[in-house]
Structure 1
Amino acid sequence: MSDSEDGGPARQPSANANTKSAHKRAKRRKRARARKSGKRVGTDASVSKGGLQAGPKTQAQADSDGCSPGGERKQKTKRRRNRRHGGVGASGARPLSVAGKEAAGTVAGGGAAAGIVTRVAAGGSTNGQSTRAGDCGPRRDRPVVAADARRRESPHRSGLQKEWHSNVGGAEASVRPAAGEVRLARAERNPRAGGYRGILYAALDLGTNNCRLLVAKPEGRAFRVVDAYSRIVRLGEGIGASHRLSDAAMERAVEALAVCRDKLVQCGSPVRMRLIATEACRAAENGPLFIERVRKETGLSLEIVTRETEARLAVAGCTSLVAPDADGVVLFDIGGGSSELVWLDLRNRCGARGLALTRFIRHWTSLPLGVVTLAERHGGTQVGPECFEAMVEDVSQHLTSFTMGSMLSEAISSGDVHMLGTSGTVTTLAGVHLGLERYDRRRVDGAWLADADVSAMIARLLAMPYEERVDNPCIGADRADLVLAGCAILEAIRRRWPCKRLRVADRGLREGILMELMAADRKGRTSGRSRH
């Protein structure tokens, strides 16, 4: 008898163990021969005219039932996978999580459900949250659930996800989504389109002058517009004097928001959305009460965003229009109640593009002046040269809040810095410059205007009487009393930081919201793959 390596006696296999091993080897050889010859092994119950009777079982059936060594391995692998992903019932479907059952029950009853992905129910509110509550199927095919207690909050979540607000009928001001809520299932992703099959994205911007809605579907890293809506509501009318939203203005806004709600209902697909309100609701004393009224009457829960968020979203919506060789951009968004000014310092961008350009925001400011407030202060219908200069001077005094003004001037004088304007003012100037008989977004968005062209268009509009501005197809009655106030804001910016060219953007906050929502989903999907 030989000794083992650890010094102990070597253990001899028993006769019983040898016999069992021989039997196993014989069975494996028998099954191998059966597979080669195409014969059937084992028995199974097959259906005949007389009922159930014993019949042969195929090798694949034997494997699936665990009757063969290969089948046993498959069964063990399946059990391990099921334990890792939270358990699977006898039918192979994952049982509903507690949150999923609650969400499924409340949505079916017409109540509020917890979650972020939203399918708006006609005639009622869904609390801005998921109506697709189910935690079914294997992980690669499972849909988004309302809440998943098995996942932990990721420390790398983006700021947008952390401050995500409930959008439709939310009882609370905001909700922080649980980990996994903002990540779409892989089965819903359309790899050819680069988006998510069946998922739509919506952005609503309720400003001082306009109510705008944009519904889109992802296509690669861009999106295709599915539906759009815009109506001038003049929500901030008279707010400069009373510091309150008037009853008539609130009524107009609620009517427009009800139309937006109906459009979201008609989408017929799950919609992930962000609905924001800007300066009028920020500045008005009764702004929060108006937001609550909107929630009760339309089921839409609006989020009053800060000026900093508004400036960032404006940049996010226009990054594709930044010249690839530019050393910097002076981006401005002339709104109804406020105007945002952003300096993008791109001298060291190293090829960055798209949303990555938001990292190069060097400085920004928000002026408490917009076309509505400025026109109410100085007049908008009959504007002469003296009135126009008074408006320009008023805006220039507020530009002192841009503390890096001298540094921006140096960057403009030493490099290629262009302006990028996103507002009704610059799109109107572009439409008039192009001589459009009817406004055409495809020709206006992305158009370049030389500095001399901008000066000529402002002078042309200033020389137009009010009635002629009303008749112009690119201005119309809704903007005829506001366009010169917008030109005064633009002129003040141009005089302070003169650039050789201006690019026109018929896009802005809504597009920025959509780009950030889609980018957050892509980031969540990528981080989810790395965790598994």
Structure 2
Amino acid sequence: MENLVVIDLGSNSVRMTISELDNAGNYKTVTQEKRYVRLSENMGDSQILQPAAIERTLTALEEFKAIYSELDHPKIKAVATAAVRQASNQKQFLKQVKAQLDLDFTVIPGTTEARYDYLGVVNTLPVINGLLVDTGGASSELILVQNRQMKHVVSIPLGSVTLSQAYLESDRVQADSLFTAMTYVNNILNDVWWLREATNLPVFGLGGANRTLAKINRRNKNFLNFEDVHGYKLSAADVYATLTRLLSLDLAGRKKIPGLSKDRADIIVGGLIPVTLLMRLLDSKQITFSNAGLREGILFEQINQIKNGNEED
């Protein structure tokens, strides 16, 4: 039995999943933890991780360590994505984490992040053809799936935190700010040459912003377990109506929306712009949500290694 600890350090949150794996590759998820750390906050044009954000992150990682330190011989896979990937003080930050927590992070490129997203989704949902969209705090990963195979992949600098801080008011979003932000996102999407191949295909949403979209709608429809969004489907009309509703409210109003975390209320509009524009661009009629993504992709990669090792034996 192996205790696999996967830590995903993103731009807005840090998450940990602990799974028990046996020698046959069977698994059981035993622990899932999440902390909002807003690591990419106020990085600015110089792309510097700020002291307050670093301190929040270290505190969260210390809490995680207190949990996985209780395990017998944990196998730790810790990955960092867009915020650390883009940071000019990346090396200093990673050294600080190592010195304080004896924890080694691997900074993965956006294409690797996308591959893990793909593994997490195709192993848990019946995806044949579609576009996977993972909107994080500082980047978005797009993956075109055809016949269950990953055909095209790209990581683009569009995230809920970075878009919100660069273009949008944290209180009531103004029309000119929204137009500027949407124009910026649209221009980047238009540069992804293969996106037209996804026209009319279903969209699969990952990442905190997209999952929040699902939670708001599940809460609105009185689902008992509104956070269980895996496999949940929404029409394009529901997506557009939700963004319209959010835009009609100020920050205090958004904080009162059931299903929307107060920690995310100031960045949710920016977080939903990429998927909304994608669905309009591709004329997609429906989005399906996935709770499985990067961490699950790492898990399935580990399971495949175990099974392949058994086959070689």
Asked whether the equivalents of residues 233 and 289 of structure 2 are also in contact (C-alpha less than 8 Å), the reply is yes
- The residue aligned with 2:57 is 253
- The residue aligned with 1:408 is 198
1:352-401 alpha-carbon deviations (Å, 9 max, x no partner): xxxxx4xx211111111211110111123321343323222111111133
Matched residues in 2 for 1:266 and 1:517: separation? 22
Q: Identify which of 292, 296, 305 aligns with 1:507.
A: 292
| Cα pair distance change 1:236/1:298, threshold 3 Å | same
Deviation at 1:485, TM superposition (A): 0.3
Say whether residues 1:420 and 2:204 are aligned partners: yes
Secondary structure of the structure 2 residue equivalent to 1:427: helix
Asked whether the equivalents of residues 207 and 336 of structure 1 are also in contact (C-alpha less than 8 Å), the reply is yes
- The residue aligned with 1:479 is 264
**Structure 2 counterparts to residues 169-184 of structure 1, below 5 A:** none
- The residue aligned with 1:203 is 6
- The residue aligned with 1:524 is 309
Secondary structure of the structure 1 residue equivalent to 2:262: helix
Higher strand proportion: 2
Deviation at 1:286, TM superposition (A): 0.4
Asked whether the equivalents of residues 364 and 402 of structure 1 are also in contact (C-alpha less than 8 Å), the reply is no
- The residue aligned with 1:233 is 37
Matched residues in 2 for 1:215 and 1:455: separation? 36
Asked whether the equivalents of residues 343 and 361 of structure 1 are also in contact (C-alpha less than 8 Å), the reply is yes
Matched residues in 1 for 2:197 and 2:265: separation? 36
Gaps of 5+ in 1: 1-196, 347-356
Say whether residues 1:342 and 2:143 are aligned partners: yes
- The residue aligned with 1:263 is 67
| Cα pair distance change 1:239/1:270, threshold 3 Å | same
| Cα pair distance change 1:480/1:439, threshold 3 Å | farther
TM-score w.r.t. length of structure 1: 0.56
Identity across matched positions, percent: 28
Please tell me the residue identity of whatever aligns with 2:202: H
Asked whether the equivalents of residues 20 and 28 of structure 2 are also in contact (C-alpha less than 8 Å), the reply is yes
Please tell me the residue identity of whatever aligns with 1:419: V
Secondary structure of the structure 2 residue equivalent to 1:239: coil
1:213-252 alpha-carbon deviations (Å, 9 max, x no partner): 0001237766322111100101111113331111111111
- The residue aligned with 1:41 is none
Please tell me the residue identity of whatever aligns with 1:404: W
Asked whether the equivalents of residues 338 and 366 of structure 1 are also in contact (C-alpha less than 8 Å), the reply is yes
Secondary structure of the structure 1 residue equivalent to 2:69: helix
| Cα pair distance change 1:228/1:443, threshold 3 Å | closer
- The residue aligned with 2:182 is 392
**Structure 2 counterparts to residues 116-195 of structure 1, below 5 A:** none
Which fold has the larger relative contact order, with Cα–Cα distance below 8 Å and residues 6 or more apart in sequence?
2
Say whether residues 1:370 and 2:159 are aligned partners: yes
Matched residues in 1 for 2:69 and 2:223: separation? 31
Matched residues in 1 for 2:242 and 2:300: separation? 32
Count residues with an aligned counterpart. Answer: 310
State the superposition RMSD in angstroms.
2.0
Q: Identify which of 104, 109, 113 aligns with 1:306.
A: 109
| Cα pair distance change 1:389/1:438, threshold 3 Å | farther
Secondary structure of the structure 1 residue equivalent to 2:137: coil
Matched residues in 1 for 2:225 and 2:44: separation? 33
Secondary structure of the structure 2 residue equivalent to 1:444: coil
| Cα pair distance change 1:419/1:221, threshold 3 Å | farther
Asked whether the equivalents of residues 385 and 462 of structure 1 are also in contact (C-alpha less than 8 Å), the reply is no
Say whether residues 1:276 and 2:95 are aligned partners: no
TM-score w.r.t. length of structure 2: 0.92
Say whether residues 1:468 and 2:253 are aligned partners: yes
